[in-house]
Amino acid sequence: TGLPKHILTGYWHNFDNPAVELRLRDVPAEYDVVAVAFAEATATPGAVTFAVDPGLSAALGGYTDADFSADVRTLQNRGKKVIISVGGETGRVAVNDAASAVAFADSVHALIQRYGFDGVDIDLENGLNPTYMAQALRSLRAKVGSRLIIAMAPQTIDMQSPGSSYFKLALDIKDILTVVNTQYYNSGAMLGCDRNAAYGQGTVNFIVALACIQLEAGLRPDQVGLGLPAGPGAAGGGIVAPSVVNAALDCLARGTNCGSFRPPRTYPGIRGAMTWSVNWDVSNGNGFARTVAPHLDTLP
């Protein structure tokens, strides 16, 4: 896929909200992967579509689909990857049978051809069918080839057990999966891989103990990323200082800067971090990207 060993992913808002509005080309240079949020469902089950949001366009004084497409190429010329994220908190994309799997793959492929996206991010927060989503993603991979980036952004509850639908999907497509950036926020207390304590969100222990589940239950370290909010306004709970993200990365990669929970081994290949969102990070002074991105370069 042409990605560095360790990557920083950030979501870019295709909507207007209290965070600062940005043209895609104005995403700070620290981000390796920019996930465009979001492709939306159409009337055809499984199919998705994308266009620059009218509210965003107005807030930016005029920003067209052609401008956006040019910005995708601008970021790629800077060595960045741009992927289209499907779903979001209010997304209603459903791939529950063979026909909708075909519609999903065909429509995402059409968006890749139109805008030049490097891949797709599965951010379905209202459930998914692992059998048919795997079918859809394999079909898309066959159309695009090995350069296709396939990312996921499950909620913490979706990655508590390999038997859950999201986790099952990740394991079922492990051979073509790029990274799973679990959202370690908005989730309250959750069990870690030791299964004997519920860890409170917003701590090094929470991030490490929950990432450990994936790392010990089948995903490769290079397929595991840590998703955290960019700062005030970005989430309802689980916001941490960027230094806490770095400590969690250190604990997982090196066994240093851990809290009271220590994983059973180290995972030097841990892929990196994700933040919701680029816009919120810029609104808060770019502290997340400017702190975490340089630290990723120091990992083994």
| Catalytic positions, written as ranges | 125
- Spatial separation of the C-alpha atoms in residues 30 and 228, rounded to whole Å: 16
Q: Which of 45, 215, 33 is nearest to 120 (CA)?
A: 33
Dist. CA 104–CA 106, nearest whole Å: 6
What is the DSSP pairing of strand 179-183 with strand 81-88? unpaired
Note whether 200 and 189 are within 8 A (CB).
Answer: yes
Helix runs in 9-81, H state only: 54-59, 65-77
286, burial (CB in 10 Å: exposed 0-12, middle 13-18, buried 19+): middle
